[in-house]
Amino acid sequence: MNNYGESNGDSNVHEKQVEGHDHCENGDGSDNRVILGIDGGTTSTVCVCIPLFSSLKSLPIPPPILGRAVSGCSNHNSVGETAARDTLEEVMAEALSKSGSDWSAVHAVCLGVSGVNHPTDQERILNWLREIFPSHVKLYVQNDAVAALASGTMGKLHGCVLIAGTGCISYGFAEDGREARASGAGPVLGDWGSGYGIAAKALTAVIRAHDGRGPQTMLTNKILTALGLSSPDELIGWTYADPSWARIAALVPEVVSCAEACDQVATKILVDAVQDLALSVKAVVQRLHLCGEDFFLADGNGSFPVVMVGGVLEANRTWDIGKEVIKCIQEQFPGAHPIRPQVEPAVGAALLAWNFLMTESTENSHS
Amino acid sequence: MNNYGESNGDSNVHEKQVEGHDHCENGDGSDNRVILGIDGGTTSTVCVCIPLFSSLKSLPIPPPILGRAVSGCSNHNSVGETAARDTLEEVMAEALSKSGSDWSAVHAVCLGVSGVNHPTDQERILNWLREIFPSHVKLYVQNDAVAALASGTMGKLHGCVLIAGTGCISYGFAEDGREARASGAGPVLGDWGSGYGIAAKALTAVIRAHDGRGPQTMLTNKILTALGLSSPDELIGWTYADPSWARIAALVPEVVSCAEACDQVATKILVDAVQDLALSVKAVVQRLHLCGEDFFLADGNGSFPVVMVGGVLEANRTWDIGKEVIKCIQEQFPGAHPIRPQVEPAVGAALLAWNFLMTESTENSHS
């Protein structure tokens, strides 16, 4: 794995002689140094390479992507530490190679990765990166929700992100650096606004209609047709055969279709999901007082961004879950300002690294 | 596996020469022939051997148990067909051996087994038994809920059983043989009154209180203490580490304790579970018109048994889920008559076989 750069004897460290390195100014405020941004999800890992710009003024929005690479899963909970580390090293090497760059040009790395719930997770993953890079390279490890937030705020950690795909999570930062999250605990622990949650409730409604516990619903025909089944009884075997969350969450479009056709059961499921998702954001906003300074009311009119990410919020259907969530949040917090990111989370991670670097350099110049 | 009896050339068949067999009358209405009743669950399989009594009048209640054996899982969905079949054959051989009996004395077998949701499941398992026994032996295969019903009604298939342990199911039979079930579809499909459902809602409440989405609750301290954890954040890792339903359902006593101490969140979880469980029974009662003959009202005062089985209903606590469920059912159906079985489900299965035999012999004598 160490054929990309010089070595200082430790075969895992891609060494660079920082002090003697030639940082050619490119005339646009960047030099030959680069930042790697990585979005490490459960299904895939994306790495982008962007140039290092030396000042806020010189950073173009969106930033130019020098190289981009995609690899498999880098969630250590899913594939184990060795495989996760190998995947990360591979995807970074490929992004660098596509950029016409190499390990020695790397100035900072930010990895947003799922499964980072504790400082110990963060520390462990930082240690892997530390083994790959020499000590002058700035390394940042965050929950993947933080990179998603940065993809909407262009690297600034302020406001709240709501992700609703197969799972869901809300994650926010106050200007003073305080952070808070809500949801994101998985289906056993009640992430009911997630794609999995919506689809599981729809499947439940079909079973309840079938066994006499609930009202008849269009969901029955819609879902049975989508799955190629002939009776609700067969849903039991279908769910037991493979209870993967993504397979169940894939039924969300059927639920939306039924709600668009005014089916009451499907509509109630979506309305409840909207309430759950909005509540996740509201809880974060209140804990961080993102809406303003009134500590007790916590319902000020202060403006703050709400970055909206994930298939459940981006479906762009007539029954628009994302729009309804924003409406619900704004009823309590009129200053909530929705943002649909124009760049992918890996770019968010790169911008986050750049933002951390700027903050540190400002702090250093003041100290 | 074929060292217990004679063989007719097929090494899997435990042969008996019925016509020439000597049925010694024992003076109590039984002869040397036996019935095997089997309760095949997901965690264990129980087989009991009872004597064959020749008439309704001579059957003592409860019946004498000649032998009893316990083995592992016989749910083919969990362990595969070969292992399930081997387990069944082993547990029957042991029960027969403990009875001082052998395969040749077996007159009928009734297996109540989890995972029987379709006629095809029933047919497949009947075929296994058919390979073990010669053709004159009467074989019956039922969902394990049916054996549980029979354990309360002493073999008569009439009324409704409600099982609420780790999972939950309601299953009923009308006098004319029509049957219906509700729930029993697993947690993905919304069995919220089950032990798993109750405990998952309690864990969700702890997470919601922690991240600001829900009210504070005693459940937090109670559950964290029970699990030896120090923060609700750690619940995420705890559930991901092993999402087995039984491990989560084991937290039900903590929820009951909090409800007994008047915690509102815990109380609401139990009240909702009571409603869900009662609804499962009501749906079956209505579909089968167990309460009487009025097809349209379906709320007659006719008496019918409701057999109550499983840890959630039998906990015998101050906050008594089972009693509350019955109260809720009786509000709509005053004729619902609760029964707590005095015998185990395997004995229910044996009584069911005996009941089937009596019915068939009556039908034959009338034809």
Q: Report the pLDDT value the prediction gives residue B119, as an integer from 0 to 100.
A: 80
Number of domains in chain B: 2
| Shared-domain flag, residues A148 and A171 | no
Most confident of A9-13, A298-302, B32-36, B240-244: B32-36
Judged by a CB distance cut-off of 8 A, whether residue A200 touches chain B is yes
Q: What span, in angstroms and rounded, lies between the C-alpha atoms of A219 and A206?
A: 6
CA distances from B140 to B10, B108, B110, B356 (A): 22, 8, 5, 9
Element (H, E) at B272: helix B264-288
How far is B181 from chain A, CA to nearest CA, in Å?
A: 7
Q: What span, in angstroms and rounded, lies between the C-alpha atoms of A308 and A340?
A: 6
CA distances from B347 to B103, B154, B177 (A): 19, 9, 21
- Residue whose C-alpha is closest to residue A7's, from A126, A104, A127, A99: A104
Assigned token pair, A360: 């540190």
Confidence of residue A28 (pLDDT cuts 50, 70, 90): low
Q: What span, in angstroms and rounded, lies between the C-alpha atoms of B306 and B48?
A: 24
| Shared-domain flag, residues B174 and B233 | yes
Closest chain A CA to residue B279: A213
Assigned token pair, A278: 């909005």
- Residue whose C-alpha is closest to residue A221's, from A230, A212, A213: A230
Closest chain B CA to residue A242: B188
Nearest neighbour of A283 by CB, restricted to B185, B203, B212: B212
| Shared-domain flag, residues B43 and B113 | yes
**CB of A353 closer than 8 Å to CB of A52:** no
| Shared-domain flag, residues B177 and B256 | yes
Burial bucket for residue B92 (CB in 10 Å: 0-12, 13-18, 19+): buried
DSSP string, A312-338: TTS---SS-HHHHHHHHHHHH-TTEEE
- Residue whose C-alpha is closest to residue B171's, from B187, B158, B154: B158
Return the number of other C-beta atoms located less than 10 Å from residue A357's C-beta. 20
Residue A263 lies in a domain: yes
Q: What span, in angstroms and rounded, lies between the C-alpha atoms of A307 and A170?
A: 10
Q: Name the 3-class secondary structure at B286.
A: helix
Residue B1 lies in a domain: no
Q: Which residues of B touch A190 (CB under 8 A)?
A: 200-201, 203-204, 207-208
- Which of B116, B207, B216, B217 to probe by mutation at the A interface, max A CB count within 10 Å? B207
Residues 263-302 of A with CB under 8 A from B: 279-280, 283-284, 286-287
- Which of A118, A188, A286 to probe by mutation at the B interface, max B CB count within 10 Å? A188
| Shared-domain flag, residues A328 and A183 | yes
Q: Cα-flanking dihedrals φ and ψ of residue A19, to 5°?
A: -60, -40
How many Cα atoms sit within 13 Å of A193 on the Cβ side? 28
* Stretch A269-288: mean pLDDT: 97
Q: Which residues of B touch A184 (CB under 8 A)?
A: 236
| Shared-domain flag, residues A331 and A349 | no
| Shared-domain flag, residues A274 and A324 | yes
- Give the largest CA-CA distance in chain B: 77
| Shared-domain flag, residues A70 and A215 | no
**CB of A183 closer than 8 Å to CB of A145:** no
Res A18 pLDDT > 60: no
Q: Report the pLDDT value the prediction gives residue B293, as an integer from 0 to 100.
A: 62
Closest chain A CA to residue B206: A189
A235, B280: Cβ pair inside 8 Å? no
Res A24 pLDDT > 90: no
Residue A128 lies in a domain: yes
Residue B151 lies in a domain: no
| Omega before residue A62 within 30° of 0, cis | yes
A190, B200: Cβ pair inside 8 Å? yes
DSSP string, A163-183: EESSSEEEEEE-TTS-EEEEE
Q: Cα-flanking dihedrals φ and ψ of residue A358, to 5°?
A: -60, -45
Judged by a CB distance cut-off of 8 A, whether residue A201 touches chain B is yes
B185, A279: Cβ pair inside 8 Å? no
**CB of A343 closer than 8 Å to CB of A37:** no
Q: Which residue has the higher pLDDT, B82 or A77?
A: B82
Res A20 pLDDT > 70: no
Q: What span, in angstroms and rounded, lies between the C-alpha atoms of B309 and B71?
A: 21
Question: How many Cβ contacts (< 8 angstroms) between chains A and B?
Answer: 97
pLDDT, tens digit (0-9, with 9 covering 90-100), for A246-275:
899 999 999 999 999 999 999 999 999 999
- Residue whose C-alpha is closest to residue B116's, from B107, B126, B108: B126
Q: Report the pLDDT value the prediction gives residue A23, as an integer from 0 to 100.
A: 56
Percent of chain A with pLDDT over 90: 63
B204, A186: Cβ pair inside 8 Å? no
How far is B26 from chain A, CA to nearest CA, in Å?
A: 47
CATH of residue A199's domain is 3.30.420.40
Judged by a CB distance cut-off of 8 A, whether residue A236 touches chain B is yes
How many Cα atoms sit within 13 Å of B42 on the Cβ side? 12
Q: What span, in angstroms and rounded, lies between the C-alpha atoms of A188 and A167?
A: 11
Judged by a CB distance cut-off of 8 A, whether residue B342 touches chain A is no
Q: Name the 3-class secondary structure at A273.
A: helix
**CB of A112 closer than 8 Å to CB of A125:** no
Q: Report the pLDDT value the prediction gives residue B188, as an integer from 0 to 100.
A: 85
Judged by a CB distance cut-off of 8 A, whether residue A79 touches chain B is no
Q: Name the 3-class secondary structure at B197.
A: helix
B211, A181: Cβ pair inside 8 Å? yes
Q: Report the pLDDT value the prediction gives residue A5, as an integer from 0 to 100.
A: 33
A208, B190: Cβ pair inside 8 Å? yes
A240, B186: Cβ pair inside 8 Å? yes
Per-residue buried b or exposed e for B23-33, using 16+ beta carbons within 10 Å of the residue's own CB = eeeeeebbbbb
| Shared-domain flag, residues A182 and A331 | yes
Contacts of A175 (CB under 8 A, 6+ apart): A158
Q: What span, in angstroms and rounded, lies between the C-alpha atoms of B171 and B146?
A: 7
The rounded mean pLDDT for chain A is 87
The structure tokens 């965050």 sit at: A142
**CB of A345 closer than 8 Å to CB of A114:** no
Judged by a CB distance cut-off of 8 A, whether residue A190 touches chain B is yes
Alpha helices by DSSP H, listed for chain A, are 76-79, 81-98, 119-132, 144-153, 195-211, 219-227, 233-241, 245-249, 252-260, 264-288, 321-332, 345-366
The structure tokens 């600034």 sit at: A156
Per-residue pLDDT of chain B (367 residues; tens, 9 = 90+): 333 333 334 445 555 444 434 555 666 666 789 999 999 876 789 999 999 987 766 778 788 999 999 998 787 766 778 888 899 999 999 999 999 999 999 999 999 988 777 788 889 889 989 999 999 999 999 998 999 999 999 999 999 999 999 889 999 999 899 999 999 888 889 899 999 999 999 999 999 999 999 999 999 999 999 999 999 988 988 988 887 888 999 999 999 999 999 999 999 999 999 999 999 999 999 999 998 865 444 456 789 999 999 999 988 899 999 999 999 999 999 999 999 999 999 999 999 999 999 888 777 776 6
Confidence of residue A240 (pLDDT cuts 50, 70, 90): confident
| Shared-domain flag, residues A131 and A247 | no
Q: What span, in angstroms and rounded, lies between the C-alpha atoms of B261 and B259?
A: 5
Q: What span, in angstroms and rounded, lies between the C-alpha atoms of B317 and A256?
A: 43
Assigned token pair, A331: 């009823």
Closest chain A CA to residue B231: A118
Instruction: Name the amino acid, one letter, at A336.
Output: A
Q: What span, in angstroms and rounded, lies between the C-alpha atoms of B283 and A265?
A: 18
- The sheet carrying A159-164 orders its strands as A179-183, A168-173, A159-164, A304-309, A336-339
| Shared-domain flag, residues A138 and A212 | no
Contacts of A42 (CB under 8 A, 6+ apart): A73, A75, A78, A114, A115
Res A9 pLDDT > 90: no
DSSP string, A7-60: -SS-TT--B--TTT------SSSEEEEEEEEEEE-SS-EEEEEEEEESSGGG--
Residue A72 lies in a domain: yes
Q: Which residue has the higher pLDDT, B344 or A298?
A: B344
Judged by a CB distance cut-off of 8 A, whether residue B100 touches chain A is no
Assigned token pair, B123: 């047919």
Nearest neighbour of B240 by CB, restricted to A77, A201, A284: A77
DSSP state of A72: S
Residue B321 lies in a domain: yes
Judged by a CB distance cut-off of 8 A, whether residue A339 touches chain B is no
Nearest neighbour of B213 by CB, restricted to A240, A248, A283: A283
CA distances from B267 to B206, B245, B246, B248, B295 (A): 14, 22, 22, 18, 36
| Shared-domain flag, residues B99 and B167 | no
Query: For residue B188, what are the domain limits?
Result: 158-340
Residue B17 lies in a domain: no
Nearest neighbour of B181 by CB, restricted to A204, A211, A279: A211
Q: Report the pLDDT value the prediction gives residue B43, as an integer from 0 to 100.
A: 73
Q: Which residue has the higher pLDDT, B158 or A363?
A: B158
Res A58 pLDDT > 80: no
Nearest neighbour of B204 by CB, restricted to A189, A233, A235: A189
Alpha helices by DSSP H, listed for B20-80, are 76-79
B189, A207: Cβ pair inside 8 Å? yes
Judged by a CB distance cut-off of 8 A, whether residue B213 touches chain A is yes
Q: Name the 3-class secondary structure at A242.
A: coil
